[in-house]
Amino acid sequence: MKALILPAITLVSLMIFSVQAKQMKVGVALANFDLNFISILRSQMASELQKEDLGGQFVDAKGDVALQAQQVDDFINQGVDAIILNPVDTQGVQPMMKAASNAGIPLIFVNRKPEVKLSPGMAYVGSDSALGGEMEMEALAKKMNYKGNVAILMGALSNEEAHERTRATETVIAKYKEMKVVEKQTAKWQRNEAVDVVSGWLLNGTPVNAIAANNDEMAIGAIMALNQSGNKDILVAGIDGTPDGVKFVQSGRMTLTIFQDARGQATGAVKVTRALLDKKKVETYNWIPYKIITSENYQQFQSAGPSR
């Protein structure tokens, strides 16, 4: 009799252990691995998922909203426990939200805020886009002594960040009588695109005193175009505080940048994901603060690096 009982107890123990050992899986759908900030976001998120004992599967939408929607569907079909989404198009997220909601899977947005109301079981972790644009332009306006012509490099027009940062930039400029916007064009967050756009502005001969870019990569592209033309008098500002951005501030070629904490956003997104998986209550919107980086304080951001 004892010989029969012991194997049964062992079997039950093994079954309990296997249930306890089952690792929850999180699907992470990112807009574009090639973007510097998202690369940092991805790296930090992978580290945080490991700390939380969560399995992570990362996919790259390559800037394609249709591909991203398919990737989210694939995650749902694979039975992931939660999805973290960095959307390609902040206006085109409703099909993905509906699919996740119907499947009962928590959906956590990171870095790019959806331009629609979030449903129960969903949350956003990131920074206030408009505030970033306001801080950038106020600091840049001060460097300009509140007078002069400003050109704006916009991010991808499908992104809430680009809309809100640009709107805030224009609002700040409108406050000062001797300042005005003379150029405004998208460079899709990309360094090379910004080189082409700014080179075109320079060829047009429009007088520009400063360039406000929606992110560091475009600011760096603007600086490259200015270097090629031999023009070093135009002030350039960015947003993100990426390692490359901080180097350009250190060299004096970038006037300032606004530190957007990619590591903080990544860490926050994973912690919110864990909380939702544990059925805990979370805030719908979880804000990560900005900081201004200038030639006076860039050293503080060299080791801490944002990771974007």
Which residue type occupies 307?
S
∠ CA 274-290-262, rounded to 5°: 45
pLDDT at 1: 45
pLDDT at 21: 56
Using alpha carbons, select from 244, 247, 182 the residue that is nearest to residue 218: 244
Q: Coil, strand or helix: which one is 223?
A: helix
**Contact call for residues 210 and 240 (beta carbons, < 8 A):** no
**DSSP sequence for 146-185:** T-EEEEEEE--TT-HHHHHHHHHHHHHHHTSTTEEEEEEE
pLDDT in tens, the chain (308 residues): 444 444 554 544 444 444 445 899 999 999 999 998 999 999 999 999 999 999 999 999 999 999 999 999 999 999 999 999 999 999 999 999 999 999 999 999 999 999 999 999 999 999 999 999 999 999 999 999 999 999 999 999 999 999 999 999 999 999 999 999 999 999 999 999 999 999 999 999 989 999 999 999 999 999 999 999 999 899 999 999 999 999 999 999 999 999 999 999 999 999 999 999 999 999 999 999 999 999 999 999 985 444 33
Using CA atoms, how far residue 113 sits from 90, 131, 168, 273, 290, in Å, is 6, 13, 16, 16, 16
Give dist(CA 170, CA 126) in Å, integer.
22
Lookup: tokens for 60: 């790259």
Give dist(CA 276, CA 104) in Å, integer.
11
| Total-model pTM | 0.83
pLDDT at 28: 98
pLDDT at 14: 45
**Contact call for residues 203 and 143 (beta carbons, < 8 A):** no
Give dist(CA 268, CA 178) in Å, integer.
41
pLDDT at 6: 46
Which residue type occupies 178?
E
**Contact call for residues 184 and 143 (beta carbons, < 8 A):** no
**Contact call for residues 208 and 234 (beta carbons, < 8 A):** yes
Pick left, alpha or beta for residue 193 (phi over 0 → left; psi -120 to 50 → alpha; otherwise beta). Answer: alpha
Question: Residues 150, 151, 157, 159: what is their CA dihedral angle, to the nearest 10 degrees?
Answer: -50
Lookup: tokens for 289: 């603060």
pLDDT at 303: 58
Lookup: tokens for 51: 């700390």
The DSSP bridge partners found for residue 260 are 290
**Which domains, and CATH codes, for the chain?**
24-127+262-289 (3.40.50.2300), 129-260 (3.40.50.2300)
